[in-house]
Amino acid sequence: MRYSYQAVDRIPKQLNPGVVYHSEEFEIGALLCACGCGHRVSLLVPDSHQITSVGGLATIHPSISVCDAPCKSHYFIRAGDVDWLPAFSSAMAAATMQQQIARHARRDKEPMPVTRRSRIKVGLAKAFRKLLSVFRW
């Protein structure tokens, strides 16, 4: 399977196989697991992953570890191609999830950088303008 890149305003409810969806505004990405199990993989950008596109093909860095599904898949997506890594054991998956939770808890305690705050303000202002345009008198 090859993964194409699709920039979106919002991640759709229904995901198509072979597509990496990326919302720059909301700093998230999503795809269906490469193993074909149908599990929805959500990515926090740039907190945990980087998503890029070259020629319409997706690249995700670092590797994707599917710790919250029975498949325990582990792989890279580079220029649309899936490069498989050894699957995680249940113990490795649990340890990885704990590390991610601890990393996010530490980040939540740190003050938000000014650059991120300004991006949030811009996003809120844009959303507010959209809302106002719907309710024009």
Model confidence over 106-134: pLDDT tens digits?
A: 766 666 665 665 666 666 667 766 666 65
pTM tops 0.85, yes or no: no
Q: What is the pLDDT of residues 33-73, one digit of tens each?
A: 999 999 999 998 887 899 999 999 999 999 999 988 899 99
Closest C-alpha among 64, 21, 32, 28 to residue 47: 28
6 has a pLDDT exceeding 80: yes
> What tokens does 134 get?
């719907």
CA dihedral defined by 109, 114, 120, 125, rounded to 10 degrees?
140
Listed by start position, the domains of the chain span: 4-132
d(CA 92, CA 95): 5
For residues 46 and 27, the answer to whether their CB atoms sit within 8 Å is: yes
For residues 45 and 35, the answer to whether their CB atoms sit within 8 Å is: no
